[in-house]
Chain A
Amino acid sequence: TAGITQAPTSQILAAGRSMTLRCTQDMRHNAMYWYRQDLGLGLRLIHYSNTAGTTGKGEVPDGYSVSRANTDDFPLTLASAVPSQTSVYFCASSDLAGGHNEQFFGPGTRLTVL
């Protein structure tokens, strides 16, 4: 199985442009998450979804939006990118009914906003 995939692998984006980072999982996990990872700051939660049709804000949600139309997909949209959104973005998923909520991470998207 593929597990959890992200696209694109990397992207250079002009400031002010919009972009959607894609995330798909085939493990039928009910929960999905978006993190950004910056040097010296570690992984920080942007948005999450505990089940299809619901979403919630994490630690750093400003400038980002998400949707969860179905179990498998959890896209992250930057409506108008700014240079401070340059980061590596990781999508993750977990089975909340599975006991200890181990999260599985996708390979990441490296985004540069110029």
Chain B
Amino acid sequence: GQNIDQPTEMTATEGAIVQINCTYQTSGFNGLFWYQQHAGEAPTFLSYNVLDGLEEKGRFSSFLSRSKGYSYLLLKELQMKDSASYLCAVIDSGYALNFGKGTSLLVTP
């Protein structure tokens, strides 16, 4: 079966850095995605990791360790608009995404 865990909620201050962790146990591994979802909207793609290491894209970075079944999403210079849910998803042996339950991030002034 699939098991993807991430914290339910996090709070951080505007301008700060926050790290959202994701651990997974899946029957196979063909890549890990992070999506952002604002309330009432569709998920939108943030990042993709298939090899170990850090992928940086502007204020957002994503890290993967396949041996540890672990990833994190790092958000720097937080802005109020970053308040959203962040979804970790893994592709196992097929093509479909297996999603974690999401982390709701609240950015406060």
Contact = CB atoms under 8 A, between A and B. Distances in A.
A100 B48 contact: yes
A50 B30 CA distance: 16
- Interface size class on chain A is 20 to 34
Contact of A101 (B43, B87, B91, B100): B91
A48 B87 contact: no
B97 to A, nearest CB: 6
A50 B95 contact: yes
A101 B45 CA distance: 11
B43 A102 contact: no
Interface stretch (A36-44, A64-72, A75-83): A36-44
B95 A105 contact: no
B48 A108 contact: no
A58 interface: yes
B43 A40 contact: no
A90 B96 contact: no
Given A41-B101, A58-B96, A105 B42 contact: yes
- Interface size class on chain B is 20 to 34
Given A100-B48, A105-B42, A107-B41, A42 B101 contact: yes
Contacts of B31: 100-101
A96 B33 CA distance: 15
B44 interface: yes
A106 B33 CA distance: 17
A113 interface: no
6 contacts: A33-B96, A42-B100, A48-B95, A100-B50, A102-B45, A105-B44
Interface of A: 31, 33, 35, 40-45, 48, 50, 58, 90, 94, 96, 100-108
Interface of B: 30-31, 33, 41-45, 48, 50, 87, 89, 91, 95-102
6 nearest A-B residue pairs (beta carbon): A42-B101, A105-B42, A43-B99, A100-B48, A42-B99, A105-B43
